[in-house]
Structure 1
Amino acid sequence: MKQITTAITFCLIIANNFVFSQTTEEIKAKEIIEKSINATGGKELLSNIKTLYSKSSTVMDGRNVNYITKEMAPNLGSFEIEYEGRIVYRSWFDGKTGYETVNGQKKIADQEEFKDKHDRKYIMNEVAYLDSELFKVKFIKTDKDEKLNQVEATAKDGSITNLYYDTESFLLKKEEKKNPNKSSFSTILCTDYKKFGELTYCSKNIFKSENGDQVVSLIDLKYNKDIKKSDFKF
């Protein structure tokens, strides 16, 4: 019996040391993400958001345009560009295949652009970051001067998103997305938040680019209403 007890104790020590060494950074990252979830409405609210509609305004090629996005759990989504009340471009994913409409013509789009859609399970990204089947997260550092906590989230396809959360409010302030497979990199800043119902959501984004920054201001946001599966059919 003593030998069995000793063996079990030894195994528990090894297991505890392994868990600690493997998940210290992950645990801290998830704590920060959970605090961000609480700051934006709570885990119950974010987990129960099954559809999301947003309409934003921006300037493209000197013209005032609107961006319209629609999402439905687990992985349906569409993006539209509206100019003078008319949809001039649309791309969408029906859960299996990605499509686009250009100059009024519907066609199957480049499926590489929709590769990450197949693994989606949630509307709200922060909830997805906590799912170890979808993302591996780790705490990187705290920038005391900028007052930001940096968390790295690596998706199943190898793409990496660096998330920068305010150390006081825990609201997301910046995203840096890298996809080694596509040699792509993008930076998005969030400069303002507003409350829509019970949900606190980023209402002003700045998309950084070598060709000039693009400011996108949120006009309208709705969740769990006015979106149907038929919105994503070809």
Structure 2
Amino acid sequence: MKLTTTIFTICLIAGGNNLLFSQNINEDKAKEIIEKAIQATGGKELLNSIKTLYSISETTMDGRKVNWITKEMAPNKGSFEIEYQGRIVYRSWFDGKIGYETVNGEKKLADPEEFKEKLNRKYIMNELAYLDPSLYKLELVENNPDKTYNEIKATSTDGKVLHLFYDAKSYLLKKETKENPDKNAFSTVIYNEYKKFGALTYCSKTTFPTEDGEQIITLTDLYYNKKISEKDFK
């Protein structure tokens, strides 16, 4: 009886070690793919050097052509504006601690639920965050028989789960889905096209599937480390 118990215990330990070994290999493979994605967009040195990001995109809302203007400053400040016929008709922003928005020209506190993911943000470029074990745990999902993409499950420390689909040849991100998106956030983002802005390769055409169809965003201008100051988040 004692011998049987000992053998059973050894088997349990061995099985547990094999599982842990498998999980470590899986996580290492996921990190390797993220590293290649970073290299494909400009390299880790470039991405680490980006402390502000300013973008202007064209889209259509309620049948009208508008511009979406986004501004980001490391580690977690952000601003979003809707411009129509040269006039800012909506603005929301996060100063690093609190979110605000303008309604009919009046500044007021925004719903905290809309800015929850900003609180723990440490990087402008998402791939750098995915490699930070204090922010995310990575797992390579092995369910792609034709090998056209690599799927990575990224679970943040606050419980949010992202599924990231990287092209198997270019290693550029092609699709992102969120299992539990924040309030008023899109659950799926499709990255259609990429182009170079300076040394940075960045998505220039994005699709957000919606209940009514889809929202297509075309990036027209992108600047990093310029055109942004602290006053943009006050």
Same fold at TM > 0.5: yes
Tell me which amino acid in the other structure corresponds to 2:127.
E
The answer to whether the 8 A contact 1:142-1:148 is kept is no
The answer to whether the 8 A contact 1:208-1:214 is kept is yes
Note the C-alpha offset of 1:146. Answer: 6.8
Tell me which amino acid in the other structure corresponds to 2:163.
N
Indicate the residue corresponding to 2:142 in structure 1.
141
Tell me which amino acid in the other structure corresponds to 1:231.
D
The answer to whether the 8 A contact 2:186-2:208 is kept is no
Mean Cα deviation higher: 196-205 or 145-154: 145-154
Indicate the residue corresponding to 1:68 in structure 2.
69
Provide, for residues 146-177 of structure 1, a one-character-per-residue CA deviation record: whole Å limited to 9, x for no partner.
71110011112211111000000000000111
Cα distance change of structure 1 residues 46 and 142 upon mapping to structure 2, 3 Å threshold: farther
Over 2 Å off, 4+ runs: 13-22, 141-146, 180-185
Indicate the residue corresponding to 2:31 in structure 1.
30
Look up the SS of the partner of 2:29 in the other structure: helix
Q: Hey, what's the Cα distance between the residues in 1 that align with 2:33 and 2:154?
A: 12
Q: Hey, what's the Cα distance between the residues in 2 that align with 1:57 and 1:20?
A: 47
Tell me which amino acid in the other structure corresponds to 1:91.
S
Matched, 1:223 2:224: yes
Indicate the residue corresponding to 1:6 in structure 2.
none
Indicate the residue corresponding to 1:96 in structure 2.
97
Note the C-alpha offset of 1:178. Answer: 2.0
Tell me, which stretches of 5 or more residues in structure 2 are unaligned? 1-13
Indicate the residue corresponding to 1:10 in structure 2.
none
Indicate the residue corresponding to 2:163 in structure 1.
162
Note the C-alpha offset of 1:42. Answer: 0.3
TM-score (norm 2): 0.88
- What does 1:46-195 align with in structure 2 at a 5 Å threshold? 46-141=47-142, 143-145=144-146, 147-179=148-180, 186-195=187-196
Note the C-alpha offset of 1:209. Answer: 1.1
Q: Hey, what's the Cα distance between the residues in 2 that align with 1:138 and 1:163?
A: 10
Note the C-alpha offset of 1:182. Answer: 6.2
Please provide the CA RMSD for this pair.
2.2
Identity, % of aligned positions: 63
The answer to whether the 8 A contact 1:158-1:180 is kept is no
Tell me which amino acid in the other structure corresponds to 2:125.
M
Provide, for residues 60-111 of structure 1, a one-character-per-residue CA deviation record: whole Å limited to 9, x for no partner.
1100000000000000000001110111111100011000012111101111
Mean Cα deviation higher: 156-165 or 30-39: 156-165
Tell me which amino acid in the other structure corresponds to 1:123.
I
Look up the SS of the partner of 1:112 in the other structure: helix
Matched, 1:212 2:213: yes
Mean Cα deviation higher: 109-118 or 48-57: 109-118
